[in-house]
């Protein structure tokens, strides 16, 4: 194995760098800029059972060291992803891809994963449980250990591929949710999703985003994400994908020391579309600087 190699849920990666869902489209858009096969893998745009137009505009608000978004899971729906998006991706990406799946009921999650399960390109499912449970009063699946476990079991029942549960940071005890998912059979945990944030336009005296609130991401959230990755990696024995504010090779090393097996890069892709390529290229120099022989040796060493 090479110095950058890691293994995620039994599948080898050339390096731990994974562009995060919602910031890398379905991959082929970035393939016009550079060879995306340099990546460990990537998590494609959040996909739901039915097509979604998303939330009304404006959907984006800038913040110091970050941004707030309320895109609303805009996507063409699982059938179009299978018939159109994945065939396009296959022409420019030779590795297994991570399928990010969202839903508004347990049945939604199970249906979408079952439809995608037959796609050979998909190596892992990343199940986003930050969605509102329409049968549970609108509370996010990720705020309840019982609801998180129910989704985990439902998806595990329809696929033999590794199931990674993506957790919301908007909870009191992140380890309680992580342990419930692990006990229900999750193969990995992905965190953090965005924090809940808001901006107000001083001229109009109204919220900038039409949805009033949205997901806060960017480098400002890195210390919070790092803390949660550290806590979860100590609480469960399954791999963790750490993300949240990562924007440099040094940040990647820090995330891995906190316990991340692989590292997601999100908002930074929207600022610099070459950031993942550049971080991969920078990693050997940073490893040399800090006396790191192999990345897999530092996972959870903090």
Buried/exposed code over 187-203 (b: 16+ C-beta within 10 A; e: otherwise): bbbbbbbbbebbbeeee
Instruction: Identify which of 72, 69, 74 has the alpha carbon closest to the alpha carbon of residue 216.
Output: 69
- Topology of the domain covering 6-56+72-197+216-298: TIM Barrel (3.20.20)
Task: Look at the block and give the residue holding tokens 């449980």.
Answer: 129
- Rounded CA-CA distance 259/233 in Å is 5
Q: What is each CA distance from 157 to 68, 109, 126, 191, in whole angstroms?
A: 35, 11, 15, 23
* pTM listed for this prediction: 0.96
Just list the catalytic residues. Answer: 131
- pLDDT tens per residue, the chain (302 residues)? 699 999 999 999 999 999 999 999 999 999 999 999 999 999 999 999 999 998 999 999 999 999 999 998 999 999 999 999 999 999 999 999 999 999 999 999 999 999 999 999 999 999 999 876 667 666 689 999 999 999 999 999 999 999 999 999 999 999 999 999 999 999 999 999 999 999 999 999 999 999 999 999 999 999 999 999 999 999 999 999 999 999 999 999 999 999 999 999 999 999 999 999 999 999 999 999 999 999 999 999 99
Cα four-point dihedral sign 146, 147, 150, 152: negative
- For the chain, give every domain's residue range: 6-56+72-197+216-298
């Amino acid at each position: 194995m090479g110095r950058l190699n890691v293994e995620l849920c039994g599948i080898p990666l050339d390096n731990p760098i994974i562009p995060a869902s919602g910031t890398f489209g379905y991959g082929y858009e970035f393939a016009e800029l550079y060879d995306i096969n340099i990546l460990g893998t990537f998590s494609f745009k959040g996909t739901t059972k039915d097509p979604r137009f998303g939330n009304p505009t404006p959907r984006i608000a800038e913040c110091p060291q970050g941004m707030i978004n309320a895109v609303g899971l805009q996507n063409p729906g699982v059938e179009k992803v299978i018939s159109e998006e994945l065939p396009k991706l296959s022409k420019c990406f030779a590795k297994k891809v991570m399928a990010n799946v969202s839903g508004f009921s347990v049945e939604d999650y199970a249906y979408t994963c079952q439809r995608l399960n037959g796609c050979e390109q998909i190596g892992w499912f990343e199940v986003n449980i930050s969605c509102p449970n329409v049968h549970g009063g609108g509370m996010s699946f990720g705020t309840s250990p019982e609801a998180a476990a129910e989704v985990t079991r439902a998806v595990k029942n329809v696929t033999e591929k590794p199931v990674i549960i993506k957790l919301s940071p908007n909870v009191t005890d992140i380890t309680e949710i992580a342990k419930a998912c692990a006990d229900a059979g999750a193969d990995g945990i992905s965190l953090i999703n965005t924090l809940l944030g808001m901006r107000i336009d001083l001229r109009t005296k109204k919220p900038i985003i039409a949805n009033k609130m949205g997901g806060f991401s960017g480098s400002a959230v890195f210390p919070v994400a790092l803390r949660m990755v550290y806590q979860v990696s100590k609480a469960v024995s399954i791999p963790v994908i750490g993300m949240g504010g990562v924007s440099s090779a040094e940040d990647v090393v820090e995330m891995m020391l906190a316990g991340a097996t692989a590292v997601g890069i999100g908002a930074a892709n929207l600022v610099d579309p070459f950031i993942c390529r550049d971080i991969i290229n920078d990693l050997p120099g940073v490893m040399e600087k800090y006396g790191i022989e192999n990345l897999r040796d530092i996972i959870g060493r903090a």
